[in-house]
């Protein structure tokens, strides 16, 4: 059976406002984690953001929280291989995963974080959803399938978020949405709804906030 991947609907005003208030409240950097035993206690729901280096993960977390440099502040060189935890009040964790797909990192470094990522995705009981960020100009690439397959195997539901849509011309989005929908047919863990975003222009941010606030 073919699954359709429609766009996530615009949230209704009331739920969008509740989500806005949640994200306008305190958001704090908790820690950068380099090994499974460094994870904070699994005492609340969490969502993670995965994607290639430079796809816009940190910018998206900043846009969601309305803090210009929250995520970047923890992204000092040398910490980029860490799993960065942010606390959304005391309700949930937002988790910025290390970017993948950079060819220049030494093999041992890549192997180490791949193992950490695999253990994290398979072993975090409070992980409600992974957001897989895909650059709207590029669509889903082979390296994205690798992490999506990992999510399938770990039975972590994931939702695709297209980023940087402000960089696209008016007619360019439709074919990308079609390509993404086609590629997602291969992934049983794919949540059948796409979110279209621009951290720069704010597009889709209220929708994504509402999705996260609605997970319990």
Positions that interact with ligand GDP (CB under 6 A): 51, 53-59, 99, 163-164, 166-167, 198-200
Residue 57 or 129: the one with the smaller Cβ distance to Mg ion is 57
Closest to 194 measured CA to CA, from 147, 145, 161? 161
Residue closer to ligand GDP, measured from CB, 70 or 156 = 70
Q: Please identify the residue of the shown chain whose CB is closest to the bound Mg ion.
A: 58
Choice between 58 and 163, CB closer to Mg ion: 58
Residues paired with 84 in a beta bridge:
32, 96
Token duo for residue 191 = 């949540």
* Listed residue (79, 59, 2, 64) closest to 27, CA to CA: 64
Q: Round to whole Å and give the CA distance between 27 and 109.
A: 30
Q: Number of residues in contact with Mg ion, rule: CB under 5 A?
A: 3
Instruction: Please identify, using beta-carbon distances, which residue of 51 and 181 lies nearer to Mg ion.
Output: 51
Contact partner at residue 98 from Mg ion, ligand GDP, none, CB < 5 to 8 Å by partner kind: none
Residue with Cβ nearer ligand GDP (58 or 210): 58
Q: Taking CB within 5 to 8 Å according to partner kind, which of Mg ion, ligand GDP, none is near residue 204?
A: none
Query: By CB under 5 A, what part of segment 44-63 binds Mg ion?
Result: 57-58
How many C-beta neighbours within 10 Å does residue 172 have? 12
Cα–Cα distance measured from residue 122 to residue 22, given in angstroms and rounded to the nearest whole number: 28
User: Among Mg ion, ligand GDP, none, what does residue 10 contact (CB within 5–8 Å per kind)?
Assistant: none
Residue 90 beta carbon to ligand GDP: minimum distance, rounded to whole angstroms:
25
Which does residue 164 bind out of ligand GDP, Mg ion, none, counting CB within 5 to 8 angstroms by kind?
Answer: ligand GDP
Q: How far apart are CA 80 and CA 40, in angstroms?
A: 18
Q: How far is the CB of 21 from ligand GDP (least distance, A)?
A: 23
With CB cut-offs between 5 and 8 Å by kind, which of ligand GDP, Mg ion, none does residue 17 bind?
none
Residue 207 touches which of ligand GDP, Mg ion, none (Cβ within 5-8 Å per kind): none
**Closest Cα to residue 165, out of 188, 141, 199?**
199
Positions touching Mg ion (CB under 5 A) are 57-58, 75
């Amino acid at each position: 059976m073919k699954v359709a991947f429609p766009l996530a609907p615009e949230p209704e005003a009331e739920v969008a406002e509740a989500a806005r208030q949640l994200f306008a409240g305190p958001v704090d950097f908790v820690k950068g984690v380099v090994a499974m035993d460094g994870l904070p206690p699994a005492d609340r729901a969490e969502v993670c953001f995965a994607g290639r280096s430079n796809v816009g993960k940190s910018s998206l977390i900043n846009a969601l929280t309305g803090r210009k440099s929250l995520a970047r502040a923890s992204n000092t060189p040398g910490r980029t291989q860490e799993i960065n935890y942010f606390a959304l009040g005391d309700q949930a964790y937002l988790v910025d995963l290390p970017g993948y797909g950079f060819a220049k990192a030494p093999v041992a470094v890549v192997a180490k974080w791949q193992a950490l990522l695999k253990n994290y995705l398979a072993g975090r009981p409070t992980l409600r959803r992974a957001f897989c960020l895909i650059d709207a100009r590029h669509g889903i690439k082979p390296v994205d399938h690798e992490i999506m397959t990992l999510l399938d195997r770990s039975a972590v539901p994931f939702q695709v978020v297209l980023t940087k849509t402000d960089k696209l011309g008016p007619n360019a989005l439709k074919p990308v949405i079609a390509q993404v929908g086609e590629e997602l047919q291969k992934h049983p863990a794919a949540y059948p709804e796409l979110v279209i975003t621009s951290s720069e222009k704010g597009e889709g941010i209220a929708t994504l906030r509402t999705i996260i606030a609605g997970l319990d």
